[in-house]
Structure 1
Amino acid sequence: MKKFLTHPMGIDQGETVLFSEFADGGDMWTGEGPRERRKTIAFGQAFRSAPVVQVTVSLWDVDTSSALRAELSAENIRPDSFDAVFSTWADTRIARIRVAWTAFGEVAHEDDWTIS
């Protein structure tokens, strides 16, 4: 469990296309074996510390002639950004993925002050 030490909390959220490879024949669509795409996503405002981040697929565009094998995760979570990471393997063909994300954590408050 992540515990927050201050009162002010913030929630940021958004959506982004992680990749679209159908039209240009990218290896997520044409390749086989382990493949990965990652994208750094910046928050609208930095949190005080690394927030909790949840990612989900908001659009799948996939070939259904083989099994769908995929993993989506949030990595390298920092106060100002994180990496959305999508991976697949074997003969799964992915044309396009859009991800939605939500970040929840401590934010600065106008009454905050630092003791040196």
Structure 2
Amino acid sequence: MKRLRNPRTGIEQGDVEVFSDFEKGGEMWTGSGPRVRRKAVAFAEAYARPPAVHVSVSLWDMDTSAAIRAELVAENITCHGFDIVFRTWADSRAARLRAAWLAIGELPHADDWDVG
């Protein structure tokens, strides 16, 4: 007998401050060369498998006297959370960054079996 089940899709979103270096003279604002900042995000409910995660800039406060160079990605995605990672390099200066995120994936179901 073939059983079909519609998986419970979980969608979660958030908006988090990744850093604010302008007021305290942090390295994203005062430094140069390669720099990276990570912000851990925990999901409210664990997914059955690592979900698809999308991140985007929701607040971008950059100095415009030099080229603006930046990368914003989701890394280390697990069933329980992920890291928002911001990178910049050379003489780019970032005062503040806030990131919006969206996770979409399958939530555990009572009928799921773990047969090992």
TM-score, normalisation: structure 2: 0.91
Alignment of 1:1-116 (within 5 A): 7-109=7-109, 111-114=110-113
Unpaired segments ≥5 residues, structure 1:
none
CA separation of 1:52/1:28 partners in 2, compared to 1, >3 Å: closer, same or farther?
same
- Stretches of structure 2 that go unaligned for 5 or more consecutive residues are none
CA distance in 1, matches of 2:40, 2:86: 12
Q: Report the Cα distance in structure 2 between the residues aligned to 1:90 and 1:73, rounded to whole angstroms.
A: 19
What are the Cα deviations for residues 78-99 of structure 1, in whole angstroms up to 9, with x where unaligned? 0010010000000000000000
Task: Provide Cα deviations, 1:37-85, integer angstroms capped at 9, x if missing partner.
Answer: 0011001111001000000000001101011000000000000100100
Q: Alpha-carbon deviation of 1:108?
A: 1.7
Once residues 84 and 12 of structure 1 are traced to their aligned partners in structure 2, the CA distance between those partners, rounded to angstroms, is: 15
Runs ≥4 residues deviating over 4 A: none
Partner AA of 1:84 in structure 2: I
Q: Once the two structures are aligned, what percentage of the paired residues are identical? A: 55
CA distance 1:115–1:72, shift in 2 (3 Å): closer
Q: CA deviation at 1:114?
A: 2.6
Between the aligned partners of 1:83 and 1:20, the Cα distance in structure 2 is 17
How many residue pairs end up in the alignment? 111
- The offset of 1:6, in angstroms, is 5.4
- TM-score by length of structure 1 reads 0.91
After TM superposition, give the deviation of residue 113 of structure 1 in Å.
Answer: 4.2
Q: Which has the larger radius of gyration?
A: 2
